[in-house]
Chain A
C-alpha cells in the first residue's frame, strides 16, 4: 500500500527524523492559509501515488500566499499519469547545500532489508544507478540484530565527508530502520536527504510503501489508505477481493490465479487481440465475486468481448459454472462471452453453461481465439 508523502513525513517525524514543517490542503484557500502561517517562500506538492510528479508539473514554487493559492489551484484536480490530484502538501522552500539519496527495502536476493545510499541524490537517482552504480553504496541489515551504530555511521560517511553531518545522517538511518520494522514497511525512501547552509540535515521528501500483508494485523496502518487516490476500478476490485489492473485493449479477461491471468493476456495478444485488463478472481467460486468482476469489466466501454479462463484444481468447475449462471442472472451482460473451464467436474460445468446457451469450451487456445474474433467483429 502506497502512502502519500505527507503521511510518510509524519511517520518519519514521529520516529525523530528531522522533517521540515508543512501541512496538507484539499483546497487552494487552505493552501494559501498554510503558506501564510509558514511565511516566506513555499513549495506546493501534489499528493499522488506516482513517481515523476515534478516533471509532470505537480510541484510548484510560490513566493507568497497569493501565489500559493494560484499554484495549489493549478495542481489540485490535475491528472498525473491517470490519477487525479485531490491534496497538496505545502512546505517551506528549503535552502539546499547538497542532496543525497537514502533507500531501504526488503531485498529478495539477500532476504534482508537493504540500505542503498548515495551522495548523488535527487530526481535523477535511477540514471546514477544505471550509469555510475559505484556511486550507490549498499548495506544488508541482519534482521536479527538491526542496524548497529557503527554500521549506521559507515552509511553516514558514504554520504558526507564532514563527520558532524555523517553522524546526524547515521542517526537518521537508525531511525529509518526503526520505522521500517515498526510499521511493516516494504520500501522507504528519503530523496532527497539535504544539508542546508546552516549545517542541518533534513528529509525533504519521503516515500513509504507498506507491506499489504501487514494491514490485517495493523488497522492503524490500514486506516492510512486513501481510496480517492487510487484508480476507481482498482478500489472496487480490492473491496471485492479481486486483483484488477486496467489495460487499453478490448478483450475483458476473468481468470483464476495471477500466473494464468498473465498467460491468458499474453495468449490474447498472441492470437492478435489486445487484453482489456488483468483480473484474478482467486480460488473462490463465490457468485458475488463473479458479479463484481463482470461489473468492473463491463464498466469499461472499450471492452467488446469477455473471456473467462478457469482452471479448476481444488476449485470445482461446476461450482464456478453455477456462480457464472447466478451472476449472469443478477447482472445483464450485453457483450459476447466466451467461457473456458477445465479441471475438476469439467463435463458437468460445460453442461450447466450450455443449458443457458453460453459458449463453453475446455481448451484455452480455442477460447482465446473465439474471444479475439468476437471482439474483432464488434469493434
Chain B
C-alpha cells in the first residue's frame, strides 16, 4: 500500500518534449511508471520514444488515454497555466516540478485547483515515489526500496540522503513525498501526514522540515492530535544565520521567526522523535516501530 500514486496511476507528462521533461520521462519509464500520454502544445500526434502518444492539450490526453495523474515540467512562466489546465481536464492528482513560478500566479491558481477538487503537489518539488510501483517526478529510483515507512519532506537532496540511509539499512518506504519549498504549495505536511495515517501500508512516518515559516509547528500540532503512528522528524538549518531581514511583516504574520529551535521544541512537545543528524533516522525509526 501507498499514498497518492501506485500501480493504478495513469500518468500524463506535461512538457514531455522539453529538455527536462524528456529526460525525466525516460527515467520514469525505465522505473516502470505507467506513462500513458505526453502533452506539448503544437506536437500533438507525435510519439515520445516511439511509444507514448503526445497531445496538444491535457483534455485530449485524458479523453484518449484515461490519464488520472499529471506531472509538469513546463517553464515557470507557463507552469501555473499548465496546472490549471490539468485541473480543468479532470486530473485528480497534479505534481508540479517547475521551480521559479511567481507567487502571485500560484495565489490565483490554487483556488482554481481546489474548485476543481484536484490535489496539487508542489510546485518546486521533487515529486514522489512509491517504490516498486510508480515514480512521479525526479526522486532517483535506485536509492528507494519498497517497505512500510512513509517519508515527507520540504527539500530534495536532503530527502535522498535520508532515504538512502533507510534503504541501505534494510528499511523500505511506502511512499516518499517532496512537498516543495515554495511559499504557496498545494499539499502541505498535514495533508501528507493525514494520508500516511490513513494508509494501512504505512507503519511509521519520517518528516523532514526546514527553518522558516510555521508549517512544521502546525504539523507537530496535527501529529499530537491525530496521528497514532510513530513519527521521526528532522529540522535542517540549525546553524543558519538570522539574516538581514527587512521590514516587520514576516515576523508579525506568523508570530514566530521560524527558527530551528522553535520547530524542534514543537516536534518534541508533540512526541516526535527528533533526529540530530540525517544518519539518526535509522535508529529512531527502528526504535519507534512496534516489535514484529
Which residues of A line the B interface, CB within 8 A?
2, 49-51, 81-83, 101, 103-109, 111-114, 116, 125-126, 129-130, 133, 136, 138, 143-144, 181, 184, 186-187, 189, 191, 207, 209, 211, 213-214, 216-217, 245, 247, 255-260, 262-263, 265-270, 275, 278, 311, 313-314, 342-344, 364-365
Contact = CB atoms under 8 A, between A and B. Distances in A.
Nearest to B276: A270
A187 B148 CA distance: 42
B160 interface: yes
A131 B31 CA distance: 55
Nearest to B208: A259
A343 B104 contact: no
A258 B155 contact: yes
Given A211-B102, A262-B240, A313 B246 contact: no
Interface in B233-261: 234, 236-241, 243-255
Contacts of A112: 107
B236 A216 contact: no
A314 B76 contact: no
Given A256-B157, A269-B238, A313-B143, 15 more contacts: A50-B246, A51-B244, A108-B214, A136-B252, A186-B183, A191-B247, A211-B103, A259-B208, A262-B238, A263-B278, A265-B237, A265-B239, A266-B277, A270-B277, A343-B140
A107 B241 CA distance: 23
B266 interface: no
B156 A257 contact: yes
Contacts of B241: 245, 247, 278
Contacts of B183: 106, 108, 186
A213 B100 contact: yes
A144 B234 CA distance: 37
B76 A114 contact: no
Contact of A108 (B215, B234, B279): B215
B287 interface: no
B286 to A, nearest CB: 18
Contact of B161 (A133, A258, A364): A364
A181 B108 CA distance: 11
A106 B182 CA distance: 12
Contact of B250 (A130, A144, A187, A217): A187
B142 interface: yes
Contacts of A101: 248
| The 7 A-B residue pairs with the shortest CB-CB distance in the complex, in nearest-first order | A259-B155, A257-B157, A259-B158, A103-B249, A262-B236, A260-B157, A313-B140
A364 B156 contact: no
10 contacts: A114-B253, A129-B252, A186-B183, A207-B247, A213-B100, A216-B77, A257-B156, A259-B157, A260-B160, A262-B240
Contacts of A311: 157, 160-161, 164
Contact of B139 (A114, A256, A262, A313): A313
A214 B108 CA distance: 15
Nearest to B210: A259
Contact of A103 (B142, B160, B245, B248): B248
B269 to A, nearest CB: 20
Interface in B139-175: 139-140, 142-143, 153-161, 164
B92 interface: no
Nearest to B139: A313
Given A108-B215, A257-B156, A49 B27 contact: no
Contact of B142 (A82, A129, A207, A344): A344
Nearest to B236: A262
Contact of A105 (B110, B237, B249): B249
Nearest to B178: A259
Contacts of B1: none
Contact of B138 (A82, A114, A278, A313): A313
Contacts of A143: 104, 107-108, 111
Chain A interface secondary structure, helix, strand, loop or mixed?
mixed
B156 A189 contact: no
Contact of A50 (B77, B234, B244, B248): B244
Nearest to A126: B248
Contacts of A105: 249-250, 253
B24 interface: yes
A342 B102 CA distance: 33
Contact of B159 (A82, A255, A259): A259
B111 A144 contact: yes
A259 B27 contact: no
Contact of A116 (B161, B214, B249): B249
Contacts of A111: 106-107, 110, 184
Contact of B103 (A126, A186, A247, A270): A186
A343 B164 CA distance: 9
B196 to A, nearest CB: 20
Contacts of A342: 164
A138 B252 CA distance: 10
Contacts of B239: 247, 262, 265-266, 268-269, 275
A270 B121 CA distance: 33
B211 interface: yes
Contacts of B213: 108
Contacts of B218: 109
A314 B157 contact: no
B220 to A, nearest CB: 15
Nearest to A270: B277
A313 B159 CA distance: 10
A189 B247 CA distance: 7
B181 interface: yes
Contacts of B108: 143-144
